[in-house]
Amino acid sequence: MTTHTRRALALLSAALIAVAAAGCSAGGEPPPARLGKPHDPPPSGAAGTARGFTLVASGDVLPHESIIKRAAADADGDGHDFRPMFSRVKPLVSAADLALCHMETVYGPDGGPFTGYPAFTSPPQVADGLRDAGYDGCSTASNHTLDAGPEGLKRTLDAFDRVGLGHAGSARTAAEAATPTMYRAGSAKVAHLAYTYDTNGYPLPEGQPWAVNLMEKDKIIADARAARKAGADVVLVSLHWGTEWQTEPDERQLTLGRALTGSQTGTRPDIDLILGTHAHVPQAYEKVGGTWIIYGMGDQVAGEMFNHSGRRDLRGNYGSIGRFTFAPPAAAGERWQVTKAEFVPQMMDLASGKVVNLPAALAEDPDQDRYRTAQEAIGEAVLSRGAAKDGLTMGR
């Protein structure tokens, strides 16, 4: 870790602890009303009625067999209960106007069988846990989207519909695939698009080329422009990309990131934020051409992780939550602006079976060395491409 990064993280941690001690955290306010998918926003033509919003986004939900067993234990023998797993990030997630996760795996039938690596089939009760935590929807395009064929894909989206979660990146019908996922946040209509680099060699189902969105530059840009024409004020793009276990973004991430952030219609960018997943480790945040890119948020939920050398790698349980505050434009047709950009370090604590908001946990007990070590490692990765100079700060 560089001296500059260590100093920045130390100052951020001290400030957060001071805020917590003063009792001034945002968590003391009641969360705003939440809206699921789909909803049309109220008219926002009048400047006086336009309202900004906060977005929270988090990384890969990847239930290994040990995670499935933990959820079974938390259910006391009655199926699976994932709600306790998210309980320590629930205050953060539920306080956002719009909260998005990444569901990397697909669901099995009620009662199982359920499997972990290498072909994942997760309990459908994961969706209940995500919704209870306050998520409004998830990206569902990943290299594991076809692990259980089109049946697994359908079961997953059916479970999302059952609990009221939106979804983007995979589809059961051509019409569903052609319709951008929209949310209302503040007075904005927010589109969420999602894509994956591959499906682990599984071919797209016969006659269903639209089942999973593959990561192709021209398609992403065309979809973003279509979403804007459909009324989106803000366009979010989730990308399942990158090189596993590599903290630095790879050349494809850098090249595609520049192309997507550089695409615009008139003077307005086609894409307002890029949310990356897949690499299993936290990666950098970077502002490119005025648009924020999270190259990789790391895993939010995962069991013991082993890297390519076969070694247990604690980074596989580290991640970040991105939190962005959007403000309405000064004039109709202009870009909604990110006025505040934050990252919140998180860790899947396998001992407790819970995802931990690290700054909040350290504010309560500063002597938890393994939490501090994790927070410093995450911060070093997140800030490694100079995001601090563009205003990125650590939140809680």
pLDDT of residue 77: 86
Residues 6+ apart with CB under 8 A from 272: 234, 235, 236, 291, 326, 335, 336, 338
Three-class SS state of 30:
coil
Q: Distance (Å, rounded) from C-alpha 142 to C-alpha 213? A: 9
pLDDT in tens, 58-102: 999 999 999 999 999 999 989 999 999 999 999 999 999 999 999
pLDDT of residue 48: 56
Q: Hey, what domains does the chain have and what are their CATH numbers?
A: 3-394 (3.60.21.10)
Tell how far CA 261 is from the center of its chain.
18
Q: Distance (Å, rounded) from C-alpha 6 to C-alpha 219? A: 40
Q: Distance (Å, rounded) from C-alpha 329 to C-alpha 334? A: 6
Residues 6+ apart with CB under 8 A from 308: 244, 245
Reported pTM: 0.89
Q: Distance (Å, rounded) from C-alpha 1 to C-alpha 336? A: 35
pLDDT in tens, 284-293: 999 999 999 9
pLDDT of residue 248: 98
Give the angle subtended at the CA of 40 by the CAs of 214 and 95, to the nearest 5°: 80
Where b means 16+ CB within 10 Å and e means fewer, 81-94 reads: bbbbbbebbbbbbb
pLDDT of residue 7: 43
pLDDT of residue 4: 43
Contact (Cβ atoms closer than 8 angstroms) between residue 257 and residue 271:
no
Report residues of the chain scoring pLDDT below 50. 2-47
